[in-house]
A and B are shown apart, each in its own frame.
Chain A
Amino acid sequence: PPPTSSTVVPPSLPPYFIKGSIIQLADGELKRVEDLKTEDFIQSAEISSELKIDSSTVERIEGSHTSPNFAVVQFSVGEHRAQVSVEVLVEYPFFVFGQGWSSCCPDRTTQLLELPCTKLSVGDVCISLTLKNLR
């Protein structure tokens, strides 16, 4: 069976997901969070000496046992298809390849952050990061 790990994201929304937040790409360019494109992440990772983009496919989304405000999203990460589950607030946005920001509850994301967002679904391929030369 593939290795499994689990990550818990802190129970608050980071400020950089609020619409209008200024994000610096690896080449120094500044963009608003709502204007980011898939290519911005890919190009930034290419410049980075430590980080590389991995594809993380959503395999399962279920409610958290801890709180109704949380969801557990299970990803299959990278070429090794390692199973990683992440417990996040339902409004926590992930960036889906070719699509943009998506969350388990896009209505809440739009309400709380004003960040345009679509519904995160099983089969979506999200952008995630791993270390280069990790072995």
Chain B
Amino acid sequence: VPVFPWHSLVPFLAPTQSD
């Protein structure tokens, strides 16, 4: 049975930081 890491379920939204 495959086991998936928790973070694969969460979209990775990394905005460009302006400061």
Q: Range of interface residues on chain B?
A: 10 to 19
- Rounded to whole Å, the gap between the CB of B19 and the closest CB of chain A is 7
Whether B11 lies near A24 (C-beta < 8 A) is: no
* Residues on B facing A (Cβ under 8 Å): 1-19
Q: Bound complex: CA of A22 vs CA of B3, how far in Å?
A: 5
Given the complex, which residues of B lie within 8 Å of A94, measured CB to CB? 11
Whether B3 lies near A30 (C-beta < 8 A) is: yes
- Rounded to whole Å, the gap between the CB of A11 and the closest CB of chain B is 15
Whether B6 lies near A3 (C-beta < 8 A) is: no
Given known contacts A86-B11, A128-B11, A130-B12, A24 and B6 CB-to-CB distance under 8 angstroms: yes
| Chain B residue nearest in CB terms to A27 | B6
Tell me the interface secondary structure of chain A in the complex.
Answer: strand
Whether B10 lies near A127 (C-beta < 8 A) is: yes
Q: Pick the contact of B16 from A3, A36, A44, A95 — CB < 8 Å?
A: A3
Interface presence of A54 (CB below 8 A) = yes
Q: State which residues 39-83 of A face B: CB under 8 Å.
A: 40-41, 44, 48, 51, 53-54, 56, 75, 77-78, 80, 82-83
Given the complex, which residues of A lie within 8 Å of B17, measured CB to CB? 3, 80, 82, 134-135
Contacts A16-B8, A40-B6, A77-B13 supplied; 8 other A-B pairs, CB < 8 Å: A16-B4, A26-B6, A48-B7, A80-B17, A84-B13, A95-B10, A129-B11, A134-B14
